[in-house]
Amino acid sequence: MEKEIHYCPNEHGLMVVKKIPKNITFRGEEISIQEEIFVCEKCGIEVATIEQTAAIQDAISDAYRKKMGLLTGAEIREQRESLSLTQQELAKRTGVGIASIKRWENGIIQTKSMNISLKEAFQKIKVGNSYTGNRALSIPRIKLVMKEFEKELGESFLEEGDMMLFDAKYLWYADMIAFHRIGQSLTGATYAALPHGPQMNNYKELIGLIRDSDETEATPLTDEEKKIILRVALAFPKKQLAYEASHREEVWNKKTVGSTIPYSDAAKLTEIQT
Ligand SMILES: [Zn+2]
């Protein structure tokens, strides 16, 4: 790029490459970037080559992602490579196509829910499978499982203002039993021992995303998974029963508040036959 020569369109001769700080508004957010472009020192006109324009777009995308708490393209690539994952392997673990991984690493901004899936996938590989039940978190699948419970119980879940106080108990039992019986959770959710019972980690952040997600994007439930959901629904035909049962579980009430309940605790459940 240094070898490229540009002449001022206003006939002032050679332009020079400069790094210029810029504040711009992108998707309603104020962000600061550095643009590397050709500048005429006489008239100040700025010209960007195709490569410089692409680099500026990447800088905007990364600055925006940084500001919004999303992984930048470089961070996705670095974390993937540090775990010795190919783009294909990361795609599989996050439940997306390889083209999405390539795009995110090259400046296209991932959604907030996909960012959570990416972080969970990285985390899962780092800490092993015990916290996610051997599956990358799938937000649409949480909704799919809740819809299945609605069908079996004739109760509604995920309602406006509902903080998943009861929903999470059904989800937790079904995830734990699925891990115990088939070696994989239904949703990839991580659970913590919170004062009102077992609850999804980051549930406050996740509830809106779950409600807004499209359950048809999730891998469909297998017959075996549907049977597990039915088993939990039959064990706790009313929401209050699931709530109370979860509070009798030692894997919850013996834990310190906020600690993670590993899926390996599934074998110690007492209120339902696993
Ligand atoms: Zn000029």
| pLDDT bracket for residue 92 (50, 70, 90) | confident
- State yes or no: pLDDT of 76 exceeds 80: yes
Residue 31 alpha carbon to ligand 1 centre in Å? 28
Question: Percent of the chain at pLDDT above 70?
Answer: 97
- Are residues 62 and 85 in contact, defined by beta-carbon separation less than 8 angstroms? no
Look at residue 93 and tell me if it is in a domain. yes
pLDDT for 128 equals: 59
Region 7-12 average pLDDT: 94
Look at residue 191 and tell me if it is in a domain. yes
Total domain count, the chain: 3
Region 153-160 average pLDDT: 89
On whether both 149 and 245 belong to a single domain, the answer is: yes
- State yes or no: pLDDT of 124 exceeds 80: no
On whether both 116 and 145 belong to a single domain, the answer is: no
On whether both 155 and 200 belong to a single domain, the answer is: yes
Residue 135 alpha carbon to ligand 1 centre in Å? 58
* CATH number for the domain that contains residue 85: 1.10.260
Domain C-terminal end among 127, 148, 163? 127
Rounded Cα distance between 138 and 187, Å, is: 6
pLDDT for 3 equals: 64
Sign, CA dihedral 16-17-23-25, equals: positive
Domain C-terminal end among 52, 67, 82? 67
pLDDT tens for each residue of 47-75: 999 999 999 999 999 999 999 999 999 99
pLDDT for 82 equals: 79
pLDDT for 1 equals: 46
Look at residue 88 and tell me if it is in a domain. yes
Q: Strand pairing partners for 200?
A: 191
More confident residue, 4 or 17: 17
Residue 26 alpha carbon to ligand 1 centre in Å? 29
pLDDT for 83 equals: 77
Residue 15 alpha carbon to ligand 1 centre in Å? 8
pLDDT tens for each residue of 197-219: 999 998 998 999 999 999 998 99
Look at residue 189 and tell me if it is in a domain. yes
- Are residues 178 and 188 in contact, defined by beta-carbon separation less than 8 angstroms? no
On whether both 151 and 195 belong to a single domain, the answer is: yes
- Rounded mean pLDDT of the chain? 92
Residue 185, class by beta-carbon neighbours within 10 Å (0-12 exposed, 13-18 middle, 19+ buried)? Answer: buried
On whether both 147 and 202 belong to a single domain, the answer is: yes
On whether both 183 and 262 belong to a single domain, the answer is: yes
Enumerate residues 6+ apart whose C-beta is below 8 A from 50. Answer: none
Residue 241 alpha carbon to ligand 1 centre in Å? 77
On whether both 51 and 98 belong to a single domain, the answer is: no
Query: What 3-state DSSP class applies to 260?
Result: strand
On whether both 146 and 220 belong to a single domain, the answer is: yes
Q: Give the environment of ion ligand 1: residues with CB less than 5 A.
A: 8, 10, 12, 40, 42-43
Residue 12 alpha carbon to ligand 1 centre in Å? 5
Residue 34 alpha carbon to ligand 1 centre in Å? 21
Residue 7 alpha carbon to ligand 1 centre in Å? 8
* CATH number for the domain that contains residue 20: 3.10.20.860
Region 142-161 average pLDDT: 93
Look at residue 3 and tell me if it is in a domain. no
Look at residue 63 and tell me if it is in a domain. yes
Domain that holds residue 101: 73-127
| pLDDT bracket for residue 135 (50, 70, 90) | confident
- State yes or no: pLDDT of 18 exceeds 50: yes
pLDDT for 118 equals: 93
Enumerate residues 6+ apart whose C-beta is below 8 A from 273. Answer: 231, 235
On whether both 27 and 85 belong to a single domain, the answer is: no
- State yes or no: pLDDT of 248 exceeds 80: yes
On whether both 50 and 153 belong to a single domain, the answer is: no
- State yes or no: pLDDT of 2 exceeds 80: no
pLDDT for 123 equals: 80
Domain C-terminal end among 86, 103, 127? 127
Residue 195 alpha carbon to ligand 1 centre in Å? 67
On whether both 147 and 215 belong to a single domain, the answer is: yes
pLDDT for 238 equals: 95
Look at residue 132 and tell me if it is in a domain. no
pLDDT for 81 equals: 87
Rounded Cα distance between 207 and 230, Å, is: 23
- State yes or no: pLDDT of 192 exceeds 70: yes
Question: HSE on the CB side for 76, CA within 13 Å?
Answer: 29
Residue 92, class by beta-carbon neighbours within 10 Å (0-12 exposed, 13-18 middle, 19+ buried)? Answer: middle
Region 213-242 average pLDDT: 95
- State yes or no: pLDDT of 151 exceeds 80: yes
pLDDT tens for each residue of 98-109: 999 999 999 899
On whether both 144 and 115 belong to a single domain, the answer is: no
Name residue 34's amino acid.
Answer: Q
Residue 17 alpha carbon to ligand 1 centre in Å? 13
Residue 30 alpha carbon to ligand 1 centre in Å? 29
Look at residue 11 and tell me if it is in a domain. no
